[in-house]
Every structure is written in C-alpha cells, then in structure tokens.
Structure 1
Amino acid sequence: MPTAPNGQGWPIRFGAVCLRAALYILLIAGLAQGAYLEAFHLEAVRFSERGFTELAQTALLATATLLLLDTWMRLRALPEVTLLLLAFVASSLIREQDVHLDAHVFDGAWQLLVSLVVLPTLYWVIRHRRRFLEQFAHFSNTFAFGLFAAGVLTTYVFSRLYGRADFWMAVLQEYYVRDFKSAAEEVVELLGYGLILIAVIEFALLARRWHRAQRAT
C-alpha cells in the first residue's frame, strides 16, 4: 500500500488549491445569490418545495451521492468509510424528498427507504469494524473530514436550533411570520449541504490520488 490515504506525501500544487478555493467561493456565493433572488422574484414558490432553496438542496445532495457512489464502486478507496458517507448523504437526499414521497407514494415512505439504506450499511460497517476504524483513522486527518463535519453540524445542529420558532418570535415579536423562520432555517441548511458537497469533492479527489498511487506501485 502506498503512502497512507490521508494525503500526506501527495502535496497539492498551490495553483490547484487557489483554483479549487475560487470554485468553492463561487459555489457558496451562487447559493446565497440564488436564495436572494428567490426572496425577491419567486414569491409564488418562495422557500417552498418548488423554490430555489429546496431544489438546490436536492441538487447538492444528489451530486454528492453520485460522487460517493462512483468513488465506492470504481476507486475502492477507503471502502467502508466511503460506504458510510454514501449512506448518510443518500439518506439525507431521501429525507429531503419527504413531502413528495408522502404525497405520491405513501405516508412514511421516506422512513422506509432510509431504513433500507442505513440498516444494511450499518450491518456491513459493524461486521468489518476493524477495517472501518483503520480507514477512519486516515480519513479523520483530512481536510475533507473537517469540511464534512462542519457541514453536518451546520445542517443538523445549528440550523435546527437557529430555526426554532420561539427564537424568531422573540426577535420579531408582533411582526412574527412563520415564513421568516422557515427561510432562515432552509438557507442555513443550504449552506450546510454546500459544505458537505465540497467535502465530498475533496474526498473524491483524494481517493483518485490514492488510487493512482496504488496502481503505480
């Protein structure tokens, strides 16, 4: 096995770092601008399931899911870690479709689909826990892990607490409208999903470098 797949020994050129940073800035700025335009020009669907923010969340999660699926199936880099990340992101994607699934399939469909994704994955990871822990030791020292953790904390912790109705009632008082709370929570979630996608891109690029190094040995 070549240098451990934590990226050490595989320095990234400064120009490549700058290019990726610029692209990530454009991505985050584009998400913010999209939410801004939604507020001003998409009144009929503003922050609804058919609005920019919700559709962008789905697009981010779908892209991250496809990248992880490609990494897991084709590159086989850190397979147990990749599988767990894939299950988490795919479950988030399914959860974002809860309204459509409940309306067009059956009530509670998203819970069943998430269970079908998560339970076999957990079984596999637990069964191969020694390999998983060894791989996670490498993954936890990467930039991708830090970004992924930041995205998860932003989406599943901060946005939930920031979007509490009591908080917005206290801030807006007699001017409180539920749309304010929903917009704030959904936009923070959008940022979190953006960070998760960037983390997955970094992980996929790392996996490709590791795969090339492994083939060269």
Structure 2
Amino acid sequence: MPDIPPHHTSPPSSPCSISFGSTCLRATLYILIIGAVMQGVLWEAGLPDRFRFSEIGFTESMQSLCLLISCLLLIHARQVLKGLPHVTLLMLGLFGAALIREQDFFLDAYVFDGAWQTLVTLLVLPILYWIIRHRHEFVREFEGFSESFAFGLFASGFLCVFVFSRLYGRGEMWEALLVERYVRVFKDAAEEVTELFGYLLLTYAMVELVLWIRRRNTKP
C-alpha cells in the first residue's frame, strides 16, 4: 500500500494575533493619517516665517496632540482594561513628560521660567520610585509586551523622536550642507517633521497596545 503523505494544516492562530484583514485595514488608516499630516506640514511651509514650524504652528500642535492621545490611550489601557499596570505607568510618565516639555514656551512665558522642569520632576520622580519598588512585576510585564507588534512600533517611534530627530536636526549639519544658503527654518523643519513622524509612530503603538490588551483579556 503506498504511503499517504501526512496532511499538513496551518497552526491555529494565537488569540493575541492580528488577522490579515485587520492588519491591512489598520495599515491603510495609518498611511492615510500620515499623508494627511504631511499635507498639513506642506500647508505650514507656505506660511509667513514667524509662523512656520513655530511653537504655535501646525507641526508643533500635532506633536502635542499625538502625545495627548497617547496619554489618554495609556490611561484607558491601565485604568479600564487593567493591562500591564507597571509598563503603562512608566510609559505614561514618559509621554506625560514629553507633553509638558512641548509646552515649555507657554509655561515659561505665562507661568514662570522653568515651570516645565518642575512639572516634569513632580510627574516622573514618583513614577520612577514606584517602578523601582515593583521592578520584578515590571520586568515580567515587559517581557510579555516586548513580543508584541505594539512594542516594535514603540521602539521605532522612541528611536525616531529621542535619537534620530535630534541628530538629524543638528544646526551644524545643515550649516555644512547649505553653507551660505543656510536658513534656520531648514534645520527647524528637518527636526520638527522627523519628530512628528516619531510621535505618530508612538501614537500608533499605543493604539496597538490597547488592542493587544483587549485581545489578551478576551483570550480563553
């Protein structure tokens, strides 16, 4: 009797996995949002010099909006979904500090000079104390989170905002590149637009984090 080849079947998908259709839908939405945001940046580039890439410009405002949305999503994940309480608390401190830092111009002008540093300190120090005190629980949560798609987006956004945009937006690099044609707006646009893209990635990461926690909560 001839050997019958074994019947191969695809392994069942994990309850925490993302379906192909959902992946395509979310990817399309993310691309459309990036396209819309870049159209806003193009519109801002045509404004008078005093408004382009300034504290009250479109790019800076979108950065603050991304951070605010990320903070709200983290609060929802932590307080409503009860997921990753230590990891989400640390990220909330990071995003909250960045949001306060983005308002430095207004805080220094209308509250007092150095107000943003004081607020960041009051926010971050208690959170760091709590995380260090519960570091073992934090590590266990982080090990699970690090395997998710949300973590990949978070790592990409973090590197883009806090590393690449700072290096790419250095004034000396743009002065060397443009020489006598150097105008500060080139440097500002390069840094702020790159930073905005990083904040978009971080916001997408928080969306994916919320969806990931919801899938974990419904896992049988």
The normalised TM-score by structure 2 is 0.91
- Cα offset, 1:44, TM superposition: 4.6
- Cα offset, 1:193, TM superposition: 0.3
Which one scores higher on RCO, CA 8 angstroms, separation ≥ 6? 1
**What aligned pairs does 1:37-186 form with structure 2 within 5 A after superposition?**
37-41=43-47, 43-186=49-192
Is residue 2:211 matched to residue 1:198?
no
Is residue 2:16 matched to residue 1:10?
yes
- Cα offset, 1:41, TM superposition: 4.1
SS in 1 for 2:218: helix
| Amino acid in structure 2 at the alignment position of 1:166 | E
CA contact (8 A) 2:15 2:215 kept: no
Which is higher, the Rg of structure 1 or of structure 2? 2
Structure 1: give runs of 5+ residues left out of the alignment. Answer: 1-6
SS in 2 for 1:45: coil
Structure 2: give runs of 5+ residues left out of the alignment. Answer: 1-12
| Amino acid in structure 1 at the alignment position of 2:41 | A
CA contact (8 A) 2:44 2:53 kept: yes
CA contact (8 A) 1:91 1:118 kept: yes
- Cα offset, 1:108, TM superposition: 0.7
- Cα offset, 1:34, TM superposition: 1.1
Could you tell me how far apart the structure 1 residues matched to 2:177 and 2:18 are?
46
Residue equivalent to 1:4 = none
**What aligned pairs does 1:24-43 form with structure 2 within 5 A after superposition?**
24-41=30-47, 43=49
Change (3 A) 1:110 1:8: farther
| Amino acid in structure 2 at the alignment position of 1:40 | G
- Cα offset, 1:27, TM superposition: 1.4
Could you tell me how far apart the structure 2 residues matched to 1:87 and 1:42 are?
36
Could you tell me how far apart the structure 2 residues matched to 1:82 and 1:8 are?
23
Please tell me the root mean square deviation across aligned C-alpha atoms, in Å.
1.4
Could you tell me how far apart the structure 2 residues matched to 1:66 and 1:116 are?
19
Could you tell me how far apart the structure 2 residues matched to 1:46 and 1:11 are?
42
Could you tell me how far apart the structure 2 residues matched to 1:212 and 1:82 are?
19
Could you tell me how far apart the structure 2 residues matched to 1:83 and 1:20 are?
26
Structure with the higher fraction of residues in helix conformation: 1
Could you tell me how far apart the structure 2 residues matched to 1:103 and 1:178 are?
23
- Cα offset, 1:76, TM superposition: 1.2
CA contact (8 A) 1:31 1:191 kept: no
Q: Deviations over 1:67-89 (max 9, x none)?
A: 10111111111110111111111
Could you tell me how far apart the structure 1 residues matched to 2:171 and 2:45 are?
20
| Amino acid in structure 1 at the alignment position of 2:129 | Y
SS in 1 for 2:126: helix
- Cα offset, 1:46, TM superposition: 1.0
